[in-house]
Amino acid sequence: MVEWNEEFRKLVDETVKEFLNRHPEEATYLGLHEYDDKMSKGSREEFLEDLRMAEEVSEKLSEIPEEYLNYDNRIDYELLEMFLEENVFYLKDLQFWRKMPDAAEHIGNAIFPLFVRDFAPMEIRMKSINSRLKLAPNYIENTMKRIDMPVKIFIEIEKQTVRMAPFFLATVVDVGGKYVDELHDTAEKLHNKFEDYESYLEDLSKDAEERFWIGKDNLQKLLKLRGIELSVEEILAIGEKYLRELKEKREKIAVKIAGSVEEAWKKIKEKSPRNFEEMLHLYEKYIKSAREFVVKSGFCDLPEGENVRVIPTPEYLRHLIPFAAYYPPPKFEEKLEGLYIITPPPTGDYGEHNEYSIANTCVHEAYPGHHTQFCWASKHRSIIRAIGNYPAFVEGWAHYCEEAVAELGYNNTDEHEFIRLTDMIWRAVRIIVDVKLSCGEMSVEEAIKFMVSETGMDENSARAEVMRYTQTQGYALSYLLGKHLIKKMREEIENMLGDKFDLRWFHNTILKEGTLPIKILRKIVKDKARELLS
């Protein structure tokens, strides 16, 4: 008799191994360092081979009868199926790989974890960086051959990234140590290639397509593949409803604080750091206090040995991360350390980093938000639960936490509430903009205008936001939508369990299952709740 559970795990292991072999950059992100000196090729053939592989594994998967698998494997089966289908959809239907030149961004991403993660002495990491940078001209060359359906806005975005390449290379050479001469050589060759690439992009722009949007049918399909069961229209309606209600709520709070939204802003921005040093210090302080709150209130468990390290954003990344960004601990690294990188405000205006905003962001990014979620996910024994891309859960959870901690008494002054509502308004706007952009119902310029008028964001930041949405259609809508779905799930489970409902249990159950689409997560939580009842 065939042991189907074994067969299935074998297929999973083989698929993951093959995937990492073909995409060494992903392996580095996961903390598997035997791939650090390699890089993917970025060629047309490579993408076609990825497609062929995904189809082949799907075929093999369909030969395994799901009903013979145990509970955990059945979940992973469904996840692998979704992962493959989404890959095929990207490669075959959406075909961004033919439309979006991404060499500069890709090379930056390939170097980044080697640069900022101290899993080995700098010297060893520099050796890997040098190897990857040596392969980079080839990646650029292949990219230039691969783009045969160029899209204007994607070229614009890449041009901005290429402009930062010299700074990025200088930063790397600067810390080269023993490898400084070799790196200098490598950087010079790459620099020349980037110059070719820049003029190539200039030419490519001339008869590039205006159309960047994937269209309504594709958006619907993409969301379904990520386990969202609502229609595009329903999602848009959710965004519009929230936007209306949240604005009203914020008006009322603003009146309480200082008479009007404008005056409330002024008052809130008075409590801002005066310089970058103070700002870093405040982030550290609020990360610490958010962590203390999670422990004291019993919001959820924290895995042993985790921590978050705050560092200033490296120079060459500052245009890509105008505010701040969190990087989770790699799945296979022993140390459970998240990185929180913070950019000094390009305008020198520290008001955006007022204390209330910092307090709220630290909940979202660190405790009990992203850092907590990713630490638990990386402890899950199944690798499939670490590589999936389920933004409605990931962003939904972090956004859910902002309000959930306030309900328990943390960050609950009127000023905090004002900031939280402002951030929610921004997420509601993201739903509307993401849906309309992806459906081709809103132009980039219209989207920027809408963001500025609804959120009060400055035009440059709004432009950077909207540009990013065009590259990751279907992502920006995930924050508020995911939160909405998690709240609904909580209600459902509370109703099921009545007196037996325990918030800490609910949070732990969600966190300890790994990164999942909401659809599957809901099923698991309901099964566990039923167990509690029996």
Chain residues binding Zn ion by CB under 5 A are: 395, 398
**What is the DSSP secondary structure assignment for residue 90, as one 8-state letter?**
I
Q: How far is the CB of 305 from Zn ion (least distance, A)?
A: 23
- Other beta carbons within 10 Å of 445: 10
Q: Quick one: 112 or 200, whose CB is closer to Zn ion?
A: 112
Q: Quick one: 375 or 398, whose CB is closer to Zn ion?
A: 398
184 in Cβ contact with 226 (< 8 Å): no
Six-digit token string for 361:
């962001």
Q: How far is the CB of 336 from Zn ion (least distance, A)?
A: 19
- Other beta carbons within 10 Å of 164: 17
The 3-state DSSP class for residue 306 equals coil
Q: Quick one: 114 or 294, whose CB is closer to Zn ion?
A: 294
First to last CA, the chain: 34
Q: How far is the CB of 399 from Zn ion (least distance, A)?
A: 7
80 in Cβ contact with 61 (< 8 Å): yes
Give the CB-nearest residue to Zn ion.
398
The dihedrals phi and psi of 320, each to the nearest 5 degrees, come to: -85, -30
Identify the CA nearest to 346 among candidates 312, 310, 324, 319: 319
Q: Cis omega (within 30 of 0) on the bond before 330? A: no
Q: Quick one: 40 or 515, whose CB is closer to Zn ion?
A: 515
Q: Quick one: 363 or 442, whose CB is closer to Zn ion?
A: 363
Q: How far is the CB of 433 from Zn ion (least distance, A)?
A: 17
Spatial distance between the Cα atoms of 508 and 376, rounded to a whole number of angstroms? 9
Interacting residues of 133 by C-beta distance below 8 A, sequence separation 6+ = 107, 111, 169, 172, 183, 186, 187, 190
Spatial distance between the Cα atoms of 322 and 342, rounded to a whole number of angstroms? 9
Q: How far is the CB of 369 from Zn ion (least distance, A)?
A: 7
Spatial distance between the Cα atoms of 434 and 216, rounded to a whole number of angstroms? 11
302 in Cβ contact with 294 (< 8 Å): yes
Q: Quick one: 24 or 391, whose CB is closer to Zn ion?
A: 391
Interacting residues of 248 by C-beta distance below 8 A, sequence separation 6+ = none
Q: How far is the CB of 519 from Zn ion (least distance, A)?
A: 20
Q: For the stretch 465-479, what's the b/e string if a residue is b when 16 or more beta carbons lie within 10 angstroms of its beta carbon?
A: bbbebbbebbbbbbb
Q: How far is the CB of 370 from Zn ion (least distance, A)?
A: 6
Spatial distance between the Cα atoms of 157 and 162, rounded to a whole number of angstroms? 9
Q: How far is the CB of 395 from Zn ion (least distance, A)?
A: 5
**What is the DSSP secondary structure assignment for residue 337, as one 8-state letter?**
E
The 3-state DSSP class for residue 347 equals coil
Q: Quick one: 355 or 395, whose CB is closer to Zn ion?
A: 395
Q: Quick one: 302 or 398, whose CB is closer to Zn ion?
A: 398
Q: How far is the CB of 282 from Zn ion (least distance, A)?
A: 19
Spatial distance between the Cα atoms of 317 and 62, rounded to a whole number of angstroms? 43
Q: How far is the CB of 483 from Zn ion (least distance, A)?
A: 11
Spatial distance between the Cα atoms of 289 and 292, rounded to a whole number of angstroms? 5
Q: Quick one: 143 or 373, whose CB is closer to Zn ion?
A: 373
Q: How far is the CB of 187 from Zn ion (least distance, A)?
A: 33
- Other beta carbons within 10 Å of 174: 11
Q: Quick one: 187 or 398, whose CB is closer to Zn ion?
A: 398
Q: What are the respective helix, strand and coil percentages of the chain, to the nearest 5?
A: 70, 5, 25
* H or E stretch covering 259: none
Q: How far is the CB of 360 from Zn ion (least distance, A)?
A: 12
Phi-psi region of 380 (alpha: psi -120 to 50; beta: other; left: phi over 0): beta
Q: Quick one: 395 or 434, whose CB is closer to Zn ion?
A: 395
